[in-house]
Amino acid sequence: MVNTGAYYGPYLALLPLVGYVAAHLIGFVISLLVSFVLNSKLTFRVPMTWRRLALYPLTNLTNFLVTTTGVLVLVNALAVDETFAPLIASAPAIPATFVVTRLVLAGRRHRSAATDERGAAGTVQAGLLSAGPATPRAPHAAPPASLGSG
């Protein structure tokens, strides 16, 4: 809900000034940054690193494509009011975005209850993504650079 507000507030404020597409893009960037902070600190409890920040927009590509396509289709093809189109378009993107976000922020060390019940299963797409345990970092590997203290 906080992330929706971080998007929808700027979207509504900018809508009369820049039109719905530009308002959507600006709201999306703002909500992306808010989402990164909240997911890092509260949801997955991982340090905010420059690497994670750099990868985070890529994880939201699904969200961006689904919501942007949805807004365009809803407004142009289905004549849905520009004010409500983004809220409707965000519904199918939420579950997919969560899964990808978990993989980027928590990596393989995060295991869901479903994965725990199955054991080390959870490989998706022929081993490209895995929800299994993380491979331990080599003792000589440096810790990731942090964005801040805390």
Domain spans of the chain, in order of start: 2-118
Q: Which two tokens stand for residue 57?
A: 């927009």
Which of 30-39, 43-52, 66-75, 90-99 has the lowest average pLDDT? 90-99
pTM to 2 decimal places? 0.54
- Look at the alpha carbons of 148, 143, 56, 150 in this order and tell me if their dihedral is positive or negative: negative
Judge whether residue 55 has pLDDT over 50. yes
Return the pLDDT at 103: 87
Judge whether residue 121 has pLDDT over 90. no
The H-assigned helical ranges of 19-111 are 20-38, 50-59, 61-72, 85-90, 93-105
